[in-house]
Amino acid sequence: APIPERVHVGNSPVYITDRKLGKGGFGQVYVGRRVSGGTARTGPHAYEVALKFEHRSSKGCNFVPPYEWQVYQTLNGCYGVPAVHYKGRQGDYYILVMDILGPSLWDVWNSLGQAMSPHMAACIAVEAISILEKFHSKGFVHGDVKPENFLLGLPGSPEEKKLFLIDLGLASKWRDSSGQHVDYDQRPDIFRGTIRYASAHAHLGRTGSRRDDLESLAYTLIFLIKGRLPWQGYQGDTKSFLVCKKKMATSPDMLCSFCPPPFKQFLESVTNMKFDEEPNYAKLISLFESLIESPASRPIRIDGALKVGQKRGRLPVNHEEDDQPKKKVRLGSPASQWISVYNARRPMKQRYHYNVADNRLQQHIEKGNEDGLYISCVASSANLWALIMDAGTDFGSQVYELSPVFLHKDWIMDQWEKSFYITAIAGALNGSSLVLMSKGTPYTQQSYKLEIAGE
């Protein structure tokens, strides 16, 4: 269904859908213009707003309100997160009505010839750290920190130099309902985020925590200054793996070459954080103090950083921990130390083998048993065997006998004494036989009878 031409959700004014602003992780964003009234630049009475549309059948909705709505509701009024004024469903779309914002840091970087001054990047760093601190204090991690998701305020408005963090569709909780840190887990088959800026932990499928947002911010800052990261350019199905390997093989010295020292110090600090470690946001902000110039020349407002700072607008310097032992710094550890071998395939419920020669029989049976499968049926053709192995046999254990004669009577009787019963049997043209006997069957007694053909 097409995007609605007119939007009216809840008790909102009526908006006309105008030009497209961009595309988020799951939705599309358009300018909405009020049909009547509204003279403010921002807020619920603004003449122009941002309308975010998500189709109800999209991955982010699945026929219920988007998960992002819950995050915005929890973060309502959070510093650096744009305000949601109205929300609701209209036709096939879930719609958010928000303040319209200005260019992203990606746009700014492009307009500056794809190279940003360390001074500007430092202003971004301290304000972004402050925004993330407030974001994290609400119990969430963003999960997709990158230049495209940091926007400045609307040009010409009082907030044109203010930084905002948008697109909360990949946010997740680092703190549970009881206030405890979520448990560590690892699912390497699941990747969330943007490959270029994701933390090494995200590549490895580790549960997201506060350290990951900060590591992604470090890569964002280095990209804005240098214009490129060493792992750009990989293509194909193995891109994520190759990028991950390159990230972990690249030392902070190499990655931060030609960047002022605070950026390397920040990278080292955040890449050595523990899973559940609480970041020292004030100390991280203080790293960039030497690069911050006078207020008149700051290209980005750093209100959030100043609020946690000292008097007269100085950024905080944390002297308390200067004498603490320094952590060991990861200097490009080999990827083999980090990457886990993981098979996400569900256990097979059934498997079959055919054209199996006598000398290969044991290998197939043992491998199946390791995977929880037991033989439920056998057959023979041209002196080769076919096996069907199942997970749902309910057998407790199984033994087999490959005999050069048809049915090894003594072996069968020995197994009966041990409470094994015949569950599958087959004979080959050369007179050999394969007998499977199992425990866990419904049988309590068993016999067999041989009849010679033609008699």
Single out the residue of 413, 441, 438 nearest to residue 425, CA to CA: 438
3-class secondary structure, 136: helix
439 is in an annotated binding site: no
Catalytic residue among 18, 99, 144, 176: 144
Taking the C-alpha atoms of residue 364 and residue 172, their distance in angstroms, rounded to an integer, is 44
Q: Does residue 323 have an active-site annotation?
A: no
Tally the C-alpha atoms within 13 A of residue 172's C-alpha that lie toward its C-beta.
18
Taking the C-alpha atoms of residue 182 and residue 2, their distance in angstroms, rounded to an integer, is 40
Taking the C-alpha atoms of residue 105 and residue 124, their distance in angstroms, rounded to an integer, is 9
Pairing type for strands 172-173 and 140-141 reads antiparallel
Tally DSSP H helices, then E strands, for the chain. 12, 16
Beta carbons of 71 and 140 less than 8 angstroms apart? yes
- In residues, how long is the chain? 455
Q: What is the C-alpha end-to-end distance of the chain, expressed in Å?
A: 76
Q: What angle do CA 119, 123, 124 make, to 5 degrees?
A: 115
The crossing angle, in degrees rounded to 10, of helices 261-271 and 210-226 is 150
Taking the C-alpha atoms of residue 135 and residue 269, their distance in angstroms, rounded to an integer, is 20
Instruction: At 161, list the tokens.
Output: 């130099």
Beta carbons of 25 and 141 less than 8 angstroms apart? no
Binding site for ATP: residue ranges? 52
- By annotation, the residues acting in catalysis are 144
Binding site: residue ranges? 52
